[in-house]
């Protein structure tokens, strides 16, 4: 984007001025801000042409010609100062143009990684108050992708904000999809995280244009995978030779019947198991992702799993109620579990939460509002995504209606 500035020469009358020559100043104006400096030249206001910004009089007057030539030279030097800032990708302000002209070091330009780091640090300080660890982690991941992109595209560790334009965004998106091999929705999330940083820069007028103005991105609807009743039963009934697989299966099944995400079951402690209003055992925990309270009545199969590991050494050592491994190991072992059980789906640990929302609750007639509350969703629209994929439920509901109509008509 081309940056334009205005340049004006004027006679500045000193305080208590009466008559005679007065100093000539130059005024640089850019984006509503201005900077002035003396030219070192003088002119009687009576001989000054304000419209042209030059001394007026007889064309062959040597003094007039010399003074105006000096002003022409100053003007050229100021334009050269502007060009220097532009060519060297430095921040272009009225003050920086003036400083470059008079030989004073220009102010250090604000850079992208500097702003990104400051944003992430503020977010880290506010974890538990305004943000969750998960949100902070996602922005740290976005920063790492941004750093990798800068190295890939520009062979640099940082970049000045005035170099970020629409083509920068498009190149970044291409990098995420091609080099990083991100799926559409992952790429969109990273770009939107990056967009928040850019909007901070625009709001603070560190960038004089919004590079996202003509950029559009859209999430693609993804079909959520979940286990059917039959597949779930295969996992429950399977006897495993190795304890590590049995442990992973048990934790996974527990989450299938409670709806807990990996990060929530990992932090589940005895104090989160409470007596509910019905006198039965409930889980009462705040979801780490959203910090929203989630209260879930514990079904019998989930209670049996809790009892199984009540005095388990690994659990006592970690003050946990279940032997939860790292997310990476859980997913790796879970693949072995599903293969041995003959479940031919790309099952990750988060599928347990999907299974709770669909097979365990919605398909058994639990109202969507209740499911939403147990899942700790902040918006029921999130829960409705599960309801949309349940053709089985639609079929069952219509079968009931069909039988009723046939009886009545």
Q: What is the pLDDT of residues 213-239, one digit of tens each?
A: 989 888 887 778 899 999 999 999 999
Residues 276 and 383 in one domain: yes
Domain boundary among 44, 79, 102: 102
C-beta atoms surrounding 182 within 10 Å: 18
> What pLDDT shows up at residue 220?
82
Residues 357 and 389 in one domain: yes
Taking the CA atoms of the chain, what radius of gyration do you get in angstroms?
A: 34
CA distance 169 to 194: 9
pLDDT tens-place string over residues 22-31? 999 999 999 8
Please report, for the chain, how many H helices and E strands are present, in that order.
Answer: 16, 8
The mean per-residue pLDDT over the stretch 401-405 comes to 76
Q: What is the CATH number of the domain that holds 277?
A: 1.10.443.10
Q: Is residue 213 part of a domain?
A: no
Residues 193 and 55 in one domain: no
Residues 178 and 93 in one domain: no
Calculate ∠ Cα 241-246-249, nearest 5°: 140
Q: Is residue 372 part of a domain?
A: yes
User: For 88-127, where are the alpha helices, taking DSSP H only?
Assistant: 94-102, 112-125
> What pLDDT shows up at residue 206?
86
The mean per-residue pLDDT over the stretch 340-358 comes to 93
Q: Are 22 and 14 in contact (CB under 8 A)?
A: yes
The mean per-residue pLDDT over the stretch 180-205 comes to 94
Quickly state the pLDDT bin for 388 (edges 50, 70, 90). Answer: low
pLDDT tens-place string over residues 132-141? 888 899 999 9
> What pLDDT shows up at residue 14?
87
> What pLDDT shows up at residue 390?
62
Beta-carbon contacts of 242 under 8 Å, excluding residues fewer than 6 positions away, are none
264 alpha carbon, distance to own chain's centre: 22
pLDDT over 90 at 403, yes or no: no
> 42 in helix, strand or coil?
strand
186 alpha carbon, distance to own chain's centre: 11
pLDDT over 60 at 201, yes or no: yes
Domain boundary among 102, 134, 164: 102
Q: What is the DSSP string of 37-103?
A: EEEEEEE-GGGEETTTTEE-S-TT-HHHHHHHHHHHHHHHHHHHHHHHHHHTT----HHHHHHHHHT
CA distance 193 to 172: 12
> What pLDDT shows up at residue 1?
46
Residues 127 and 81 in one domain: no
Residues 197 and 240 in one domain: no
Residues 140 and 247 in one domain: no
pLDDT over 60 at 209, yes or no: yes
Residue 108, both tokens: 């250090």
Rounded alpha-carbon distances, angstroms, from residue 107 to 84, 158, 191: 14, 17, 30
CA distance 285 to 292: 8
Residues 197 and 336 in one domain: no
Q: Is residue 41 part of a domain?
A: yes
pLDDT tens-place string over residues 99-117? 999 888 766 678 999 999 9
Residues 170 and 47 in one domain: no
Residue 94, both tokens: 């009225």
Mean pLDDT over each residue of the chain, to the nearest integer: 89
- Strand 281-286 vs strand 293-297: parallel, antiparallel, or unpaired? antiparallel
317 alpha carbon, distance to own chain's centre: 36
> What pLDDT shows up at residue 98?
92
pLDDT tens-place string over residues 248-294? 999 999 999 999 999 999 999 999 999 999 999 999 998 877 778 88
- The domain in which residue 81 lies consists of 6-102
Residues 69 and 169 in one domain: no
For residue 247, the surrounding DSSP H or E stretch is: helix 243-256
Residues 57 and 116 in one domain: no
Residues 245 and 363 in one domain: yes
Counting residues of the chain whose pLDDT is more than 70, the rounded percentage is: 95
> What pLDDT shows up at residue 246?
95
pLDDT tens-place string over residues 292-327? 888 999 999 999 999 999 988 888 888 899 999 999
> 25 in helix, strand or coil?
strand
Largest Cα–Cα separation, the chain: 114
Q: Which of 97-101, 121-125, 180-184, 402-406 has the lowest mean pLDDT?
A: 402-406
CA distance 11 to 23: 6
pLDDT tens-place string over residues 42-88? 999 999 999 999 999 887 889 999 999 999 999 999 999 999 888 77
Counting residues of the chain whose pLDDT is more than 90, the rounded percentage is: 63
The mean per-residue pLDDT over the stretch 195-205 comes to 92
CA distance 310 to 316: 8
Rounded alpha-carbon distances, angstroms, from residue 262 to 26, 312, 382: 65, 20, 18
Domain count, the chain: 3
The mean per-residue pLDDT over the stretch 384-398 comes to 68
Rounded alpha-carbon distances, angstroms, from residue 15 to 18, 27, 247: 9, 19, 87
For the entire predicted model, the pTM comes to: 0.60
Domain boundary among 203, 238, 273: 203
Q: Is residue 1 part of a domain?
A: no
- Strand 293-297 vs strand 273-275: parallel, antiparallel, or unpaired? unpaired
> What pLDDT shows up at residue 115?
95
């Amino acid at each position: 984007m081309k940056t334009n500035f205005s340049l004006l020469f004027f006679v500045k009358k000193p305080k208590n001025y009466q008559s005679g020559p007065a100093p000539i100043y130059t005024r640089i104006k850019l984006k509503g801000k201005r900077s002035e400096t003396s030219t070192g030249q003088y002119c009687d206001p009576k001989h000054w042409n304000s419209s042209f910004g030059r001394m007026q009089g007889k064309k062959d007057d040597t003094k007039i010609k010399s003074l105006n030539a000096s002003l022409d030279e100053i003007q050229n030097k100021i334009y050269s100062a502007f060009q220097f800032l532009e060519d060297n990708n430095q921040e272009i302000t009225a003050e920086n143009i003036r400083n470059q002209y008079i030989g004073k070091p220009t102010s250090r330009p604000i850079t992208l990684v500097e702003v990104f780091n400051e944003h992430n640090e503020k977010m880290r300080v506010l974890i538990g108050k305004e943000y969750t660890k998960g949100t902070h982690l996602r922005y740290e991941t976005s920063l790492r992708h941004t750093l990798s992109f800068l190295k890939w595209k520009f062979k640099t560790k940082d970049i000045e904000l005035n170099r970020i334009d629409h083509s920068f965004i498009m190149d970044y998106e291409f990098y995420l999809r091609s080099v990083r091999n991100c799926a559409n929705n992952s790429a969109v999330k990273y770009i939107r995280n990056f967009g928040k940083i850019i909007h901070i820069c625009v709001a603070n007028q560190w960038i004089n244009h919004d590079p996202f103005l003509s950029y559009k991105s859209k999430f693609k609807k993804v079909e959520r995978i979940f286990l059917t009743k039959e597949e779930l039963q295969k996992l429950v009934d399977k006897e495993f030779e190795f304890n590590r697989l049995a442990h992973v299966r048990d934790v996974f099944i527990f989450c299938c019947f409670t709806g807990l995400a990996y990060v929530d079951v990992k932090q589940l402690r005895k104090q989160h198991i409470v007596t509910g209003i019905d006198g039965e055992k409930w889980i009462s925990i705040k979801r780490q992702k959203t910090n929203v309270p989630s209260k879930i009545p514990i079904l019998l199969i989930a209670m049996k799993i809790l009892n199984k590991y009540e005095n388990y050494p690994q659990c006592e050592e970690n003050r946990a109620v279940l032997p939860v491994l790292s997310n990476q190991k859980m997913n790796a072992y879970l693949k072995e579990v599903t293969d041995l059980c003959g479940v031919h789906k790309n099952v990750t640990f988060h599928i347990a939460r999907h299974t709770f929302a669909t097979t365990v609750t919605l398909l058994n007639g639990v109202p969507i509002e209740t499911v939403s509350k147990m899942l700790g969703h902040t918006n029921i629209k999130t829960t409705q995504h599960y309801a949309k994929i349940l053709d089985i439920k639609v079929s069952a509901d219509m079968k009931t209606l069909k039988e009723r109509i046939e009886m009545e008509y």
